[in-house]
Amino acid sequence: MADGGTKTSFDIATVAGLAIGFALVIAAIVLGGSPGAFIDIPSVLIVIGGTAAITAVCFALGEFLGAGKVLMRTIFHRSRNPADAALQILQLAEIARKGGVLSLQGHLDSLQSEEYLWKGLSLVVDGTPPEEVEAIMRKDMNATIGRHQKGANIMKKAGDIAPAMGLIGTLIGLVQMLGNLDDPSSIGPSMAVALLTTFYGAVLANMVFMPLAAKLERNSGEEELLNSVYMVGAVSIGRQENPRRLEMLINSILPPSKRVSYFD
């Protein structure tokens, strides 16, 4: 049987992309000769604090507090090559074809790392009708997709709010500046707040929140594809269909570069 399973891997692209992006911005600031001018506590409070507060308003408290776990899923991502999963399913289908569905009982323990596949095949071995197996697995998959989408929505909402908070900070700075035109010493600090809040908001939205939302959606799509392969395989095995037909069904799901030729 094909070995390997879903593995938690460190996503170097996410970390390296963020690090390089911020390094380039910091380098441009330092080369400009005045890095201290880009540090302003009121601007930080307005943008970061305001973005966190307003994002919390948009979601339930538990969802918002779980944003940290959502972020970790972009760095430590559980993934598996769908072609390997397809080969594993086809091998299991051959075993069930030759020895009957109950012959899979001895293979369930080795599938513990693939919780979704293990659940589907356990239902099949227990004699659950294929239609019911498909309904249960599809409901489970849709619930998982919904949880992932909620995490991406939190990042997207924060990405929408951050520039708006930057604009609010800009307006505050301009009002302060225009209200103290008779005091030249106050014009500089007010202008700093006005400009830096816009800068902070743009950086957070376009270099942190929106890229992380895109990565979460990408990871969710990858997991959905993998679970679709598992669902089709479990249902086909439950129906005791020919594994060759299952191979065609799976290849209709997989992208061209991931399709398998198990029986050739």
Reported as a single tens digit per residue, the pLDDT across 205-241 is 999 999 999 999 998 899 999 999 999 999 999 999 8
User: Above pLDDT 70, what percent of the chain?
Assistant: 96
What mean pLDDT comes out for the span 181-204?
81
Report the distance separating Cα 183 and Cα 259, nearest Å. Answer: 71
The per-residue pLDDT of the chain, averaged, comes to 88
Sign (positive or negative) of CA dihedral 135, 141, 144, 146:
negative
More confident residue, 150 or 34: 150
**Crossing angle between the packed helical segments 82-99 and 115-125, to the nearest 10 degrees:** 20
Q: pLDDT tier at 263 (50, 70, 90 boundaries)?
A: confident
pLDDT digits (tens, 9 = 90+) for 107-145: 888 888 888 999 999 999 999 999 999 999 999 999 988
Smallest CA-to-CA distance from 237 within 40, 97, 49 is with 97
Task: Give the type of residue at 173.
Answer: G
Report the pLDDT averaged over residues 162-179.
Answer: 87
